[in-house]
Chain A
Amino acid sequence: MTLLAVERIKLFSTRSPWLCVLLALGLTVGFAGLLSLNAPADYLTVSATQAGYQFGLMVMMVMAALAITTEYRFGTIRATFQAVPNRTAALLAKTVLVTVLAGLIGEIAAFGSWGVATVLQPDVDLALHTEQQWRNVAGVGLVFAFGAVASVGVGLLIRHSAGALSVLLLFPMLVEELVQLIPRVGNDIHDWMPFVNAERFLTGNPADGSAVSDGMSAMPAPPLSPWGSMAYFAAATIAVLVAGLVVANRRDA
Protein backbone atom coordinates (compact mmCIF):
# COMPACT_ATOMS: atom_id res chain seq x y z
CA MET A 1 0.00 0.00 0.00
CA THR A 2 2.85 2.35 0.88
CA LEU A 3 4.48 1.75 -2.46
CA LEU A 4 1.21 2.35 -4.29
CA ALA A 5 0.89 5.69 -2.50
CA VAL A 6 4.46 6.54 -3.53
CA GLU A 7 3.72 5.82 -7.16
CA ARG A 8 0.49 7.78 -6.95
CA ILE A 9 2.34 10.86 -5.71
CA LYS A 10 4.94 10.42 -8.46
CA LEU A 11 2.42 9.93 -11.26
CA PHE A 12 0.13 12.79 -10.40
CA SER A 13 2.76 15.33 -9.41
CA THR A 14 3.64 15.83 -13.08
CA ARG A 15 1.37 17.08 -15.80
CA SER A 16 1.66 14.49 -18.56
CA PRO A 17 -0.56 11.78 -16.97
CA TRP A 18 -3.39 14.29 -16.61
CA LEU A 19 -3.00 15.34 -20.23
CA CYS A 20 -2.92 11.71 -21.35
CA VAL A 21 -6.12 10.93 -19.44
CA LEU A 22 -7.92 13.91 -20.96
CA LEU A 23 -6.63 13.09 -24.42
CA ALA A 24 -7.60 9.41 -24.16
CA LEU A 25 -11.15 10.29 -23.11
CA GLY A 26 -11.48 13.13 -25.60
CA LEU A 27 -10.30 11.11 -28.58
CA THR A 28 -12.35 8.01 -27.84
CA VAL A 29 -15.60 9.70 -26.85
CA GLY A 30 -15.14 12.39 -29.48
CA PHE A 31 -14.74 9.80 -32.20
CA ALA A 32 -17.88 7.99 -31.06
CA GLY A 33 -19.72 11.33 -31.16
CA LEU A 34 -18.60 12.11 -34.70
CA LEU A 35 -19.47 8.61 -35.82
CA SER A 36 -22.98 8.73 -34.37
CA LEU A 37 -23.65 12.08 -36.01
CA ASN A 38 -22.45 11.00 -39.45
CA ALA A 39 -23.15 7.29 -39.69
CA PRO A 40 -26.35 6.07 -41.30
CA ALA A 41 -28.73 4.85 -38.59
CA ASP A 42 -28.65 1.23 -39.72
CA TYR A 43 -24.86 1.17 -39.51
CA LEU A 44 -24.76 2.41 -35.91
CA THR A 45 -24.45 -0.60 -33.64
CA VAL A 46 -23.08 -1.13 -30.12
CA SER A 47 -19.91 -2.42 -31.74
CA ALA A 48 -19.61 0.68 -33.90
CA THR A 49 -19.77 3.02 -30.89
CA GLN A 50 -16.53 1.42 -29.65
CA ALA A 51 -14.67 1.84 -32.93
CA GLY A 52 -12.52 4.62 -31.47
CA TYR A 53 -11.21 2.67 -28.47
CA GLN A 54 -7.83 2.19 -30.12
CA PHE A 55 -7.09 5.91 -29.96
CA GLY A 56 -7.61 5.96 -26.22
CA LEU A 57 -5.71 2.70 -25.84
CA MET A 58 -2.67 4.14 -27.62
CA VAL A 59 -2.67 7.26 -25.43
CA MET A 60 -2.97 5.27 -22.20
CA MET A 61 -0.18 2.98 -23.33
CA VAL A 62 1.94 6.05 -23.97
CA MET A 63 1.16 7.25 -20.44
CA ALA A 64 2.07 3.88 -18.92
CA ALA A 65 5.33 3.66 -20.87
CA LEU A 66 6.30 7.25 -19.96
CA ALA A 67 5.67 6.51 -16.28
CA ILE A 68 8.71 4.23 -16.38
CA THR A 69 10.89 5.67 -19.18
CA THR A 70 10.88 9.19 -17.68
CA GLU A 71 12.29 7.69 -14.48
CA TYR A 72 15.23 6.41 -16.51
CA ARG A 73 15.42 9.64 -18.51
CA PHE A 74 15.73 11.85 -15.42
CA GLY A 75 17.60 9.42 -13.18
CA THR A 76 14.78 9.27 -10.62
CA ILE A 77 14.81 5.48 -11.04
CA ARG A 78 18.01 5.55 -8.98
CA ALA A 79 16.29 7.57 -6.28
CA THR A 80 13.44 5.04 -6.43
CA PHE A 81 15.73 2.02 -6.05
CA GLN A 82 17.71 3.84 -3.36
CA ALA A 83 14.52 4.37 -1.36
CA VAL A 84 13.11 0.91 -2.19
CA PRO A 85 15.94 -1.57 -2.84
CA ASN A 86 13.37 -4.30 -3.62
CA ARG A 87 13.10 -3.37 -7.29
CA THR A 88 10.40 -5.89 -8.13
CA ALA A 89 8.13 -4.48 -5.41
CA ALA A 90 8.69 -0.88 -6.51
CA LEU A 91 8.10 -1.66 -10.18
CA LEU A 92 5.06 -3.86 -9.51
CA ALA A 93 3.51 -1.04 -7.50
CA LYS A 94 3.99 1.27 -10.46
CA THR A 95 2.50 -1.34 -12.80
CA VAL A 96 -0.54 -1.88 -10.60
CA LEU A 97 -1.16 1.87 -10.41
CA VAL A 98 -1.00 2.56 -14.15
CA THR A 99 -2.95 -0.65 -14.88
CA VAL A 100 -5.80 0.32 -12.58
CA LEU A 101 -5.79 3.86 -13.93
CA ALA A 102 -5.79 2.66 -17.55
CA GLY A 103 -8.58 0.19 -16.78
CA LEU A 104 -10.66 2.92 -15.17
CA ILE A 105 -10.13 5.31 -18.06
CA GLY A 106 -10.95 2.47 -20.46
CA GLU A 107 -14.32 1.92 -18.78
CA ILE A 108 -15.09 5.64 -18.72
CA ALA A 109 -14.11 5.96 -22.37
CA ALA A 110 -16.16 2.92 -23.40
CA PHE A 111 -19.35 3.84 -21.56
CA GLY A 112 -18.79 7.50 -22.50
CA SER A 113 -18.64 6.55 -26.17
CA TRP A 114 -21.70 4.36 -25.87
CA GLY A 115 -23.51 7.06 -23.88
CA VAL A 116 -22.72 9.79 -26.42
CA ALA A 117 -24.04 7.60 -29.24
CA THR A 118 -27.21 6.83 -27.28
CA VAL A 119 -27.85 10.51 -26.64
CA LEU A 120 -27.09 11.65 -30.19
CA GLN A 121 -29.13 8.88 -31.87
CA PRO A 122 -31.98 8.20 -29.46
CA ASP A 123 -33.97 6.39 -32.15
CA VAL A 124 -31.39 3.66 -32.66
CA ASP A 125 -31.58 0.70 -30.30
CA LEU A 126 -28.18 0.70 -28.63
CA ALA A 127 -29.23 -1.00 -25.41
CA LEU A 128 -26.92 -3.73 -24.16
CA HIS A 129 -28.97 -6.87 -24.64
CA THR A 130 -26.46 -9.66 -25.10
CA GLU A 131 -23.36 -10.90 -23.34
CA GLN A 132 -21.46 -10.03 -26.48
CA GLN A 133 -22.67 -6.41 -26.40
CA TRP A 134 -21.73 -6.06 -22.74
CA ARG A 135 -18.32 -7.51 -23.42
CA ASN A 136 -17.86 -5.14 -26.35
CA VAL A 137 -18.33 -2.09 -24.09
CA ALA A 138 -17.29 -3.16 -20.60
CA GLY A 139 -14.37 -5.20 -21.92
CA VAL A 140 -12.56 -2.09 -23.18
CA GLY A 141 -11.30 -1.39 -19.66
CA LEU A 142 -9.65 -4.81 -19.48
CA VAL A 143 -7.89 -4.25 -22.79
CA PHE A 144 -6.67 -0.82 -21.62
CA ALA A 145 -5.43 -2.33 -18.35
CA PHE A 146 -3.38 -5.08 -19.96
CA GLY A 147 -2.19 -2.69 -22.65
CA ALA A 148 -0.68 -0.69 -19.76
CA VAL A 149 0.97 -3.84 -18.37
CA ALA A 150 2.66 -4.43 -21.73
CA SER A 151 3.73 -0.77 -21.86
CA VAL A 152 5.48 -0.89 -18.49
CA GLY A 153 7.25 -4.07 -19.61
CA VAL A 154 8.40 -2.54 -22.89
CA GLY A 155 9.42 0.65 -21.03
CA LEU A 156 11.55 -1.41 -18.65
CA LEU A 157 13.19 -3.31 -21.48
CA ILE A 158 13.95 -0.30 -23.69
CA ARG A 159 14.21 2.50 -21.08
CA HIS A 160 14.16 5.27 -23.70
CA SER A 161 10.86 7.04 -24.27
CA ALA A 162 11.21 7.36 -28.04
CA GLY A 163 12.21 3.74 -28.52
CA ALA A 164 9.54 2.35 -26.22
CA LEU A 165 6.79 4.47 -27.77
CA SER A 166 7.85 3.49 -31.29
CA VAL A 167 7.56 -0.18 -30.41
CA LEU A 168 4.24 0.26 -28.60
CA LEU A 169 2.64 2.27 -31.41
CA LEU A 170 4.12 0.48 -34.41
CA PHE A 171 3.64 -3.06 -33.16
CA PRO A 172 -0.17 -3.14 -32.95
CA MET A 173 -0.72 -0.81 -35.88
CA LEU A 174 1.81 -2.13 -38.38
CA VAL A 175 3.59 -5.30 -37.38
CA GLU A 176 0.52 -7.26 -36.36
CA GLU A 177 -1.21 -6.40 -39.62
CA LEU A 178 1.77 -6.78 -41.90
CA VAL A 179 2.57 -10.33 -40.78
CA GLN A 180 -0.44 -11.37 -42.85
CA LEU A 181 1.61 -10.63 -45.94
CA ILE A 182 4.04 -13.43 -45.16
CA PRO A 183 3.20 -16.26 -47.58
CA ARG A 184 1.46 -19.36 -46.21
CA VAL A 185 2.15 -18.88 -42.44
CA GLY A 186 1.22 -15.18 -42.31
CA ASN A 187 -2.41 -15.70 -41.35
CA ASP A 188 -1.55 -18.27 -38.70
CA ILE A 189 0.94 -15.91 -37.10
CA HIS A 190 -1.63 -13.13 -37.29
CA ASP A 191 -4.04 -15.29 -35.28
CA TRP A 192 -1.57 -15.31 -32.38
CA MET A 193 -0.72 -11.62 -32.29
CA PRO A 194 -1.66 -10.12 -28.88
CA PHE A 195 -3.61 -7.07 -30.03
CA VAL A 196 -5.44 -9.12 -32.66
CA ASN A 197 -6.64 -11.28 -29.77
CA ALA A 198 -7.63 -8.20 -27.74
CA GLU A 199 -9.76 -7.07 -30.68
CA ARG A 200 -11.32 -10.54 -30.95
CA PHE A 201 -12.14 -10.50 -27.27
CA LEU A 202 -14.10 -7.28 -27.74
CA THR A 203 -15.90 -8.05 -30.98
CA GLY A 204 -15.86 -11.83 -31.17
CA ASN A 205 -18.93 -14.01 -31.57
CA PRO A 206 -19.68 -15.82 -28.32
CA ALA A 207 -20.04 -19.17 -30.09
CA ASP A 208 -16.70 -19.49 -31.83
CA GLY A 209 -15.01 -16.10 -31.41
CA SER A 210 -15.39 -15.13 -35.07
CA ALA A 211 -16.01 -11.47 -35.73
CA VAL A 212 -19.67 -10.59 -35.66
CA SER A 213 -20.51 -9.70 -39.22
CA ASP A 214 -21.54 -6.08 -39.47
CA GLY A 215 -22.60 -6.83 -43.00
CA MET A 216 -19.04 -7.89 -43.78
CA SER A 217 -18.00 -11.20 -45.27
CA ALA A 218 -17.59 -13.97 -42.74
CA MET A 219 -14.04 -14.79 -41.66
CA PRO A 220 -12.78 -18.27 -40.78
CA ALA A 221 -13.23 -18.97 -37.07
CA PRO A 222 -10.23 -17.88 -34.95
CA PRO A 223 -8.44 -20.44 -32.77
CA LEU A 224 -9.64 -19.02 -29.43
CA SER A 225 -12.99 -18.09 -27.92
CA PRO A 226 -13.42 -14.40 -26.91
CA TRP A 227 -12.43 -15.04 -23.31
CA GLY A 228 -9.67 -17.33 -24.47
CA SER A 229 -8.41 -14.50 -26.63
CA MET A 230 -8.50 -12.18 -23.62
CA ALA A 231 -6.57 -14.67 -21.50
CA TYR A 232 -4.02 -14.98 -24.29
CA PHE A 233 -3.66 -11.18 -24.58
CA ALA A 234 -3.27 -10.85 -20.80
CA ALA A 235 -0.69 -13.63 -20.68
CA ALA A 236 1.32 -12.04 -23.49
CA THR A 237 1.42 -8.65 -21.73
CA ILE A 238 2.37 -10.25 -18.42
CA ALA A 239 5.19 -12.13 -20.16
CA VAL A 240 6.58 -8.81 -21.43
CA LEU A 241 6.31 -7.33 -17.93
CA VAL A 242 8.09 -10.29 -16.34
CA ALA A 243 10.89 -9.98 -18.90
CA GLY A 244 11.16 -6.29 -18.02
CA LEU A 245 11.29 -7.02 -14.27
CA VAL A 246 13.96 -9.68 -14.69
CA VAL A 247 16.12 -7.33 -16.75
CA ALA A 248 15.60 -4.40 -14.34
CA ASN A 249 16.74 -6.55 -11.42
CA ARG A 250 19.81 -7.74 -13.23
CA ARG A 251 20.93 -4.47 -14.80
CA ASP A 252 22.74 -1.65 -13.04
CA ALA A 253 20.28 1.14 -12.37
Chain B
Amino acid sequence: MIEAVGLTKHYGRTVAVDNLSFTVKPGRVTGFLGPNGAGKSTTMRMILGLDRPTAGQVLIDGTPYRDLRRPLTTVGALLDAKWVHPNRSARAHLRWLAKSNRLPERRVAEVLDQVGLTKVAGRRAGGFSLGMAQRLGIAAALLGDPKVLLFDEPVNGLDPEGILWIRQFMQGLAAEGRTVLVSSHLLSEMALTAQDLVVIGRGRLIAQSSTAEFVERATENTVRVRSPQLDRLRVLIEQRGHAVREDDGALVVAEATSEQIGEIAGAAGVVLHELSPQRGSLEQAFMQLTGDSVEYRTELGNGLNEIVAGTDQRLVSAGR
Protein backbone atom coordinates (compact mmCIF):
# COMPACT_ATOMS: atom_id res chain seq x y z
CA MET B 1 0.00 0.00 0.00
CA ILE B 2 1.37 3.38 -1.05
CA GLU B 3 -0.25 6.57 0.21
CA ALA B 4 0.69 9.98 -1.13
CA VAL B 5 -0.72 12.94 0.75
CA GLY B 6 -0.49 16.47 -0.62
CA LEU B 7 2.75 15.67 -2.41
CA THR B 8 4.34 18.79 -3.91
CA LYS B 9 7.69 19.37 -5.58
CA HIS B 10 9.05 22.67 -6.85
CA TYR B 11 12.23 23.04 -8.88
CA GLY B 12 12.95 26.72 -8.55
CA ARG B 13 9.85 28.36 -9.98
CA THR B 14 8.72 25.26 -11.86
CA VAL B 15 6.05 23.19 -10.16
CA ALA B 16 6.72 19.56 -11.07
CA VAL B 17 4.21 17.96 -8.72
CA ASP B 18 1.32 19.91 -7.27
CA ASN B 19 -0.60 18.77 -4.19
CA LEU B 20 -0.87 15.18 -5.37
CA SER B 21 -2.76 12.67 -3.23
CA PHE B 22 -3.49 9.06 -4.18
CA THR B 23 -3.35 5.53 -2.84
CA VAL B 24 -2.08 2.36 -4.47
CA LYS B 25 -3.70 -0.85 -3.26
CA PRO B 26 -2.12 -4.27 -2.88
CA GLY B 27 -3.04 -7.20 -5.12
CA ARG B 28 -3.54 -5.06 -8.20
CA VAL B 29 -1.43 -3.50 -10.92
CA THR B 30 -1.94 0.25 -10.68
CA GLY B 31 -1.05 2.30 -13.74
CA PHE B 32 0.51 5.69 -13.11
CA LEU B 33 -0.48 7.53 -16.21
CA GLY B 34 0.43 10.93 -17.57
CA PRO B 35 2.11 12.51 -20.57
CA ASN B 36 5.88 12.99 -20.62
CA GLY B 37 6.82 15.66 -18.12
CA ALA B 38 3.68 15.24 -16.03
CA GLY B 39 5.72 14.50 -12.90
CA LYS B 40 5.54 10.70 -12.83
CA SER B 41 9.27 10.09 -12.37
CA THR B 42 9.58 12.90 -9.85
CA THR B 43 6.74 11.37 -7.85
CA MET B 44 8.38 7.95 -7.96
CA ARG B 45 11.69 9.41 -6.80
CA MET B 46 9.87 11.06 -3.90
CA ILE B 47 8.23 7.73 -3.01
CA LEU B 48 11.75 6.28 -2.73
CA GLY B 49 13.09 9.16 -0.68
CA LEU B 50 15.54 10.16 -3.43
CA ASP B 51 13.96 13.58 -3.93
CA ARG B 52 12.79 15.60 -1.00
CA PRO B 53 9.16 16.80 -1.38
CA THR B 54 8.62 20.55 -1.07
CA ALA B 55 5.45 19.68 0.84
CA GLY B 56 3.40 16.60 1.69
CA GLN B 57 4.62 13.07 2.20
CA VAL B 58 4.45 9.50 0.94
CA LEU B 59 3.95 6.54 3.23
CA ILE B 60 4.67 2.94 2.37
CA ASP B 61 2.59 0.68 4.60
CA GLY B 62 2.43 3.63 6.97
CA THR B 63 6.15 4.45 7.04
CA PRO B 64 8.15 7.06 5.12
CA TYR B 65 10.77 5.40 2.88
CA ARG B 66 13.70 6.95 4.70
CA ASP B 67 12.60 5.31 7.96
CA LEU B 68 12.41 1.81 6.49
CA ARG B 69 14.93 -0.66 7.82
CA ARG B 70 16.34 -2.87 5.07
CA PRO B 71 14.16 -1.01 2.53
CA LEU B 72 14.76 -3.47 -0.32
CA THR B 73 12.71 -6.04 1.60
CA THR B 74 9.74 -3.64 1.57
CA VAL B 75 10.00 -1.77 -1.73
CA GLY B 76 11.59 -2.88 -4.98
CA ALA B 77 11.94 -0.34 -7.75
CA LEU B 78 13.11 -0.04 -11.31
CA LEU B 79 13.26 3.65 -12.15
CA ASP B 80 16.00 3.62 -14.76
CA ALA B 81 17.64 0.50 -16.17
CA LYS B 82 20.80 2.49 -16.90
CA TRP B 83 21.57 3.10 -13.20
CA VAL B 84 24.27 0.43 -13.28
CA HIS B 85 28.03 0.87 -13.48
CA PRO B 86 28.80 -0.19 -17.08
CA ASN B 87 32.04 -1.96 -16.12
CA ARG B 88 30.53 -3.94 -13.27
CA SER B 89 29.09 -7.37 -13.94
CA ALA B 90 25.39 -8.00 -13.47
CA ARG B 91 26.18 -10.40 -10.64
CA ALA B 92 28.45 -7.92 -8.83
CA HIS B 93 25.75 -5.26 -9.15
CA LEU B 94 23.22 -7.54 -7.47
CA ARG B 95 25.76 -8.75 -4.90
CA TRP B 96 26.41 -5.31 -3.44
CA LEU B 97 22.69 -4.54 -3.40
CA ALA B 98 21.96 -7.82 -1.59
CA LYS B 99 24.78 -7.18 0.88
CA SER B 100 23.51 -3.69 1.70
CA ASN B 101 20.22 -5.11 3.00
CA ARG B 102 21.76 -8.23 4.52
CA LEU B 103 20.02 -10.49 2.03
CA PRO B 104 21.44 -13.98 1.60
CA GLU B 105 23.85 -14.41 -1.32
CA ARG B 106 21.60 -17.08 -2.87
CA ARG B 107 18.96 -14.42 -3.65
CA VAL B 108 21.32 -13.11 -6.34
CA ALA B 109 21.26 -16.42 -8.19
CA GLU B 110 17.52 -16.78 -7.65
CA VAL B 111 16.55 -13.41 -9.14
CA LEU B 112 19.02 -13.82 -12.02
CA ASP B 113 17.27 -17.08 -12.78
CA GLN B 114 13.84 -15.50 -12.40
CA VAL B 115 14.55 -12.89 -15.10
CA GLY B 116 16.57 -15.27 -17.27
CA LEU B 117 19.98 -13.59 -16.99
CA THR B 118 21.92 -16.43 -15.36
CA LYS B 119 24.01 -17.10 -18.48
CA VAL B 120 25.17 -13.50 -18.88
CA ALA B 121 25.54 -12.69 -15.15
CA GLY B 122 29.33 -12.45 -15.41
CA ARG B 123 29.30 -10.02 -18.31
CA ARG B 124 29.71 -6.29 -17.81
CA ALA B 125 26.34 -4.58 -17.58
CA GLY B 126 27.43 -1.82 -19.97
CA GLY B 127 27.28 -4.29 -22.84
CA PHE B 128 23.68 -5.29 -22.16
CA SER B 129 20.89 -4.56 -24.63
CA LEU B 130 18.02 -2.45 -23.38
CA GLY B 131 15.90 -5.55 -22.83
CA MET B 132 18.65 -7.22 -20.80
CA ALA B 133 19.31 -4.06 -18.79
CA GLN B 134 15.59 -3.88 -18.04
CA ARG B 135 15.64 -7.47 -16.83
CA LEU B 136 18.63 -6.71 -14.62
CA GLY B 137 16.73 -3.76 -13.16
CA ILE B 138 13.77 -6.02 -12.44
CA ALA B 139 16.07 -8.58 -10.84
CA ALA B 140 17.38 -5.82 -8.56
CA ALA B 141 13.83 -4.80 -7.68
CA LEU B 142 12.91 -8.39 -6.77
CA LEU B 143 16.05 -9.01 -4.72
CA GLY B 144 14.48 -8.41 -1.30
CA ASP B 145 11.20 -10.17 -2.21
CA PRO B 146 9.36 -6.88 -1.52
CA LYS B 147 5.63 -6.39 -1.04
CA VAL B 148 5.64 -3.11 -2.98
CA LEU B 149 7.06 -2.72 -6.49
CA LEU B 150 7.56 0.42 -8.57
CA PHE B 151 8.37 0.44 -12.27
CA ASP B 152 8.96 3.63 -14.25
CA GLU B 153 8.12 3.24 -17.96
CA PRO B 154 9.30 -0.38 -17.98
CA VAL B 155 8.24 -1.14 -21.55
CA ASN B 156 9.80 1.94 -23.15
CA GLY B 157 11.92 0.91 -26.11
CA LEU B 158 11.31 -2.80 -25.71
CA ASP B 159 10.41 -5.16 -28.54
CA PRO B 160 6.97 -6.85 -28.52
CA GLU B 161 8.34 -9.96 -26.84
CA GLY B 162 9.87 -7.89 -24.05
CA ILE B 163 6.68 -5.87 -23.61
CA LEU B 164 4.59 -9.03 -23.31
CA TRP B 165 7.05 -10.54 -20.84
CA ILE B 166 7.02 -7.47 -18.58
CA ARG B 167 3.24 -7.15 -18.77
CA GLN B 168 2.69 -10.74 -17.69
CA PHE B 169 5.41 -10.46 -15.09
CA MET B 170 3.78 -7.47 -13.42
CA GLN B 171 0.37 -9.11 -13.45
CA GLY B 172 1.93 -12.19 -11.89
CA LEU B 173 3.47 -10.07 -9.12
CA ALA B 174 0.13 -8.43 -8.35
CA ALA B 175 -1.60 -11.81 -8.34
CA GLU B 176 0.78 -12.84 -5.54
CA GLY B 177 -0.78 -10.03 -3.49
CA ARG B 178 1.92 -7.42 -4.01
CA THR B 179 1.37 -3.71 -4.59
CA VAL B 180 2.51 -2.85 -8.11
CA LEU B 181 2.74 0.73 -9.38
CA VAL B 182 3.81 1.09 -12.99
CA SER B 183 4.09 4.39 -14.81
CA SER B 184 3.46 4.93 -18.49
CA HIS B 185 2.52 7.66 -20.91
CA LEU B 186 0.56 5.17 -23.05
CA LEU B 187 -3.06 4.62 -22.05
CA SER B 188 -3.39 1.75 -24.52
CA GLU B 189 -0.54 -0.07 -22.77
CA MET B 190 -2.02 0.58 -19.33
CA ALA B 191 -5.45 -0.57 -20.50
CA LEU B 192 -3.86 -3.98 -21.07
CA THR B 193 -1.71 -4.08 -17.93
CA ALA B 194 -3.34 -2.18 -15.09
CA GLN B 195 -6.55 -2.76 -13.17
CA ASP B 196 -6.43 0.65 -11.47
CA LEU B 197 -5.24 4.00 -12.77
CA VAL B 198 -3.83 7.12 -11.19
CA VAL B 199 -3.86 9.77 -13.92
CA ILE B 200 -1.84 12.97 -13.60
CA GLY B 201 -1.18 15.94 -15.85
CA ARG B 202 1.17 18.83 -15.13
CA GLY B 203 1.80 17.41 -11.69
CA ARG B 204 -1.84 17.36 -10.63
CA LEU B 205 -4.20 14.48 -10.06
CA ILE B 206 -6.74 14.17 -12.87
CA ALA B 207 -8.37 10.89 -11.96
CA GLN B 208 -8.03 7.85 -9.76
CA SER B 209 -10.32 4.98 -10.68
CA SER B 210 -10.37 1.49 -12.09
CA THR B 211 -9.06 1.25 -15.64
CA ALA B 212 -12.39 0.03 -17.00
CA GLU B 213 -14.22 2.95 -15.41
CA PHE B 214 -11.68 5.45 -16.68
CA VAL B 215 -11.84 4.14 -20.23
CA GLU B 216 -15.64 4.10 -20.02
CA ARG B 217 -15.77 7.71 -18.91
CA ALA B 218 -13.05 8.92 -21.19
CA THR B 219 -14.46 7.42 -24.35
CA GLU B 220 -17.96 7.29 -25.77
CA ASN B 221 -19.79 4.40 -27.35
CA THR B 222 -21.18 5.09 -30.80
CA VAL B 223 -22.45 2.87 -33.62
CA ARG B 224 -21.65 3.45 -37.26
CA VAL B 225 -24.24 2.23 -39.71
CA ARG B 226 -24.43 2.25 -43.55
CA SER B 227 -27.51 1.41 -45.56
CA PRO B 228 -28.98 2.05 -49.05
CA GLN B 229 -32.09 3.31 -47.21
CA LEU B 230 -30.19 5.72 -45.06
CA ASP B 231 -32.84 8.46 -44.83
CA ARG B 232 -35.54 6.05 -43.70
CA LEU B 233 -33.24 4.48 -41.13
CA ARG B 234 -32.28 7.89 -39.80
CA VAL B 235 -35.90 8.78 -39.12
CA LEU B 236 -36.47 5.44 -37.36
CA ILE B 237 -33.46 5.85 -35.14
CA GLU B 238 -34.26 9.42 -34.27
CA GLN B 239 -37.77 8.38 -33.28
CA ARG B 240 -36.18 6.20 -30.60
CA GLY B 241 -34.48 9.26 -29.19
CA HIS B 242 -30.87 8.64 -30.32
CA ALA B 243 -28.71 11.51 -31.52
CA VAL B 244 -27.59 10.88 -35.10
CA ARG B 245 -24.93 12.52 -37.16
CA GLU B 246 -24.06 11.92 -40.82
CA ASP B 247 -20.50 11.05 -41.59
CA ASP B 248 -19.28 10.35 -45.13
CA GLY B 249 -22.30 8.40 -46.38
CA ALA B 250 -22.92 6.69 -43.05
CA LEU B 251 -24.74 7.45 -39.83
CA VAL B 252 -23.01 7.70 -36.46
CA VAL B 253 -25.39 7.04 -33.58
CA ALA B 254 -24.37 8.28 -30.17
CA GLU B 255 -25.02 6.40 -26.92
CA ALA B 256 -26.25 3.25 -28.59
CA THR B 257 -25.24 -0.39 -29.01
CA SER B 258 -25.08 -2.29 -32.28
CA GLU B 259 -27.83 -4.62 -30.95
CA GLN B 260 -30.28 -1.72 -30.54
CA ILE B 261 -29.63 -0.36 -34.04
CA GLY B 262 -29.72 -3.83 -35.62
CA GLU B 263 -33.11 -4.53 -34.08
CA ILE B 264 -34.53 -1.19 -35.21
CA ALA B 265 -33.37 -1.91 -38.76
CA GLY B 266 -34.60 -5.53 -38.67
CA ALA B 267 -38.08 -4.61 -37.41
CA ALA B 268 -38.48 -2.15 -40.29
CA GLY B 269 -36.90 -4.45 -42.88
CA VAL B 270 -34.09 -1.98 -43.67
CA VAL B 271 -31.04 -3.46 -45.46
CA LEU B 272 -27.74 -2.78 -43.71
CA HIS B 273 -24.32 -2.64 -45.35
CA GLU B 274 -22.41 -1.92 -42.21
CA LEU B 275 -23.14 -2.04 -38.50
CA SER B 276 -20.10 -1.44 -36.37
CA PRO B 277 -19.70 -0.38 -32.75
CA GLN B 278 -17.14 2.41 -32.31
CA ARG B 279 -15.05 3.41 -29.39
CA GLY B 280 -13.50 6.83 -29.03
CA SER B 281 -9.74 6.64 -29.36
CA LEU B 282 -8.09 6.14 -25.99
CA GLU B 283 -5.20 8.32 -27.01
CA GLN B 284 -7.46 11.15 -28.07
CA ALA B 285 -9.39 10.96 -24.81
CA PHE B 286 -6.17 10.87 -22.86
CA MET B 287 -4.81 13.89 -24.70
CA GLN B 288 -7.94 15.84 -23.92
CA LEU B 289 -7.67 14.91 -20.25
CA THR B 290 -4.02 15.48 -19.68
CA GLY B 291 -2.72 17.56 -22.54
CA ASP B 292 -1.52 21.09 -22.43
CA SER B 293 -4.80 22.37 -23.83
CA VAL B 294 -6.97 25.35 -23.05
CA GLU B 295 -9.84 23.11 -21.89
CA TYR B 296 -7.55 21.37 -19.48
CA ARG B 297 -6.32 24.48 -17.83
CA THR B 298 -9.67 26.18 -17.50
CA GLU B 299 -11.80 23.18 -16.64
CA LEU B 300 -9.49 21.20 -14.43
CA GLY B 301 -11.23 22.38 -11.30
CA ASN B 302 -14.60 21.19 -12.55
CA GLY B 303 -13.67 17.55 -12.44
CA LEU B 304 -13.41 14.75 -14.88
CA ASN B 305 -17.02 14.55 -16.02
CA GLU B 306 -17.16 18.02 -17.40
CA ILE B 307 -13.87 17.67 -19.18
CA VAL B 308 -15.13 14.52 -20.84
CA ALA B 309 -18.50 16.11 -21.61
CA GLY B 310 -16.78 19.07 -23.20
CA THR B 311 -14.86 16.82 -25.54
CA ASP B 312 -17.71 14.62 -26.77
CA GLN B 313 -17.75 15.96 -30.30
CA ARG B 314 -14.03 15.51 -30.75
CA LEU B 315 -14.24 11.97 -29.42
CA VAL B 316 -16.98 11.05 -31.86
CA SER B 317 -15.05 12.34 -34.82
CA ALA B 318 -11.96 10.53 -33.57
CA GLY B 319 -13.89 7.23 -33.57
CA ARG B 320 -12.73 4.94 -36.32
Contact = CB atoms under 8 A, between A and B. Distances in A.
B99 A252 contact: no
Interface residues of B, number: 33
Contact of A82 (B67, B71, B92): B71
Interface stretch (B47-55, B166-174, B280-288, B306-314): B47-55
Given A9-B92, A78-B79, A253-B51, A83 B85 contact: no
B71 A14 contact: no
Contact of B96 (A9, A16, A85): A9
A2 B65 contact: no
A75 interface: yes
A184 interface: no
A10 B50 contact: no
Interface string B58-93: 000000011110011000010110111111110011
B100 interface: yes
A85 B63 CA distance: 13
Nearest to A85: B66
Nearest to B46: A252
Interface in B218-272: none
Given A2-B100, A75-B80, A14 B68 contact: no
Contacts of A9: 92, 95-96, 99
Contacts of A75: 80, 82-84
B45 interface: yes
Given A2-B99, A85-B49, A252-B45, A13 B89 contact: yes
Interface in A1-30: 2-3, 5-6, 9-10, 13-16
30 contacts: A2-B102, A6-B96, A6-B99, A10-B88, A13-B88, A13-B89, A13-B93, A14-B85, A14-B87, A15-B87, A70-B85, A74-B84, A74-B85, A74-B86, A75-B83, A75-B84, A76-B83, A76-B85, A78-B45, A78-B80, A80-B100, A82-B49, A82-B71, A82-B77, A83-B101, A85-B49, A85-B65, A85-B71, A252-B45, A253-B50
Interface of A: 2-3, 5-6, 9-10, 13-16, 70, 74-76, 78-86, 250, 252-253
Interface of B: 45, 48-52, 65-68, 71-72, 77, 79-80, 82-89, 92-93, 95-97, 99-102, 140
